[in-house]
Every structure is written in structure tokens, then in C-alpha cells.
């Protein structure tokens, strides 16, 4: 590449996206991440997809319920959930997710 790059003419914008292989641990982790960020009922094509928002839930969080929602939405996910208070603010609860996949994916 040139030391001082300039746009080539005619201007050509190239767009690409990162991808992961289907049914890998990365794919399952992406799916779990999306379901944690999606409120149930927000996807008309899959009205039960998603996890209830836990932002203002009384502590401690019912981890069995969260685990059941994750497995219901993606049976490939095998999760271990841990909760602990924030280091600096005891009113903040941190929930950590350890992810494995079922069936040796």
C-alpha cells in the first residue's frame, strides 16, 4: 500500500462481514448473545425467542429460569451461570455465562 493512500477512481466501496462456521462454539455463543439482547415478542417470526430483561430484577437473579430460557431458545447451548456483586458497587449484580455445546459441537 502507498505511504499516503488516496481513494481510487472511480470510487468503489467494498463491504464485508465477519462470519463464523455454523454449529461451532462461536456460532452458539453468538446466538446466546443475541437472545440475551432480544426481548421476547420483539420478533414476529419467532415470538418466544429472547430472554426477559433483567435490568431491574430483584437480586439475586433466578439463574435456573434464565438457563431454561436459553436452552428453550437454543438447545445446542449448555450454560453455567454464576452471579456475584460488582467489585465497586454492591447494588450491581454481575451474571457470568460459561458456555459449552451439547453433543460435542
pLDDT band at 105 (very low <50, low <70, confident <90, very high): low
Q: Across the chain, what does the average pLDDT equal?
A: 85
Q: What is the mean pLDDT of residues 37-63?
A: 87
pLDDT at 61: 83
Find out if CATH 3.10.450.40 is the number for domain 25-104: yes
Is-above-0.85 flag for pTM? no
Interval 25-42 mean pLDDT: 91
The CA-based diameter of the chain, rounded to the nearest angstrom, is 59
Query: Cβ contacts of residue 71 below 8 Å, gap of 6+?
Result: 77, 78, 79
pLDDT tens string 51-61: 888 878 777 88
Calpha distance 36→81 (Å, rounded):
13
Beta strand residue intervals within the chain, DSSP E = 77-85, 93-101
| Sole residue written with cell 457470568 | 96
**pLDDT (average), residues 7-26:** 83
Amino acid at each position: 500500500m502507498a505511504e499516503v493512500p488516496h481513494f481510487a477512481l472511480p470510487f468503489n466501496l467494498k463491504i464485508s462481514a465477519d462470519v463464523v462456521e455454523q454449529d461451532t462454539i462461536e456460532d452458539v455463543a453468538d446466538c446466546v448473545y443475541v437472545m440475551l439482547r432480544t426481548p421476547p415478542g420483539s420478533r414476529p417470526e419467532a415470538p418466544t425467542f429472547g430472554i426477559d430483561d433483567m435490568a431491574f430484577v430483584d437480586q439475586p437473579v433466578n439463574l435456573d429460569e434464565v438457563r431454561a430460557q436459553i436452552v428453550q431458545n437454543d438447545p445446542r447451548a449448555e450454560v453455567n451461570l454464576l452471579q456475584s456483586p460488582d467489585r465497586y458497587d454492591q447494588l450491581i449484580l454481575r451474571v457470568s455465562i460459561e458456555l459449552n455445546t451439547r453433543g460435542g459441537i
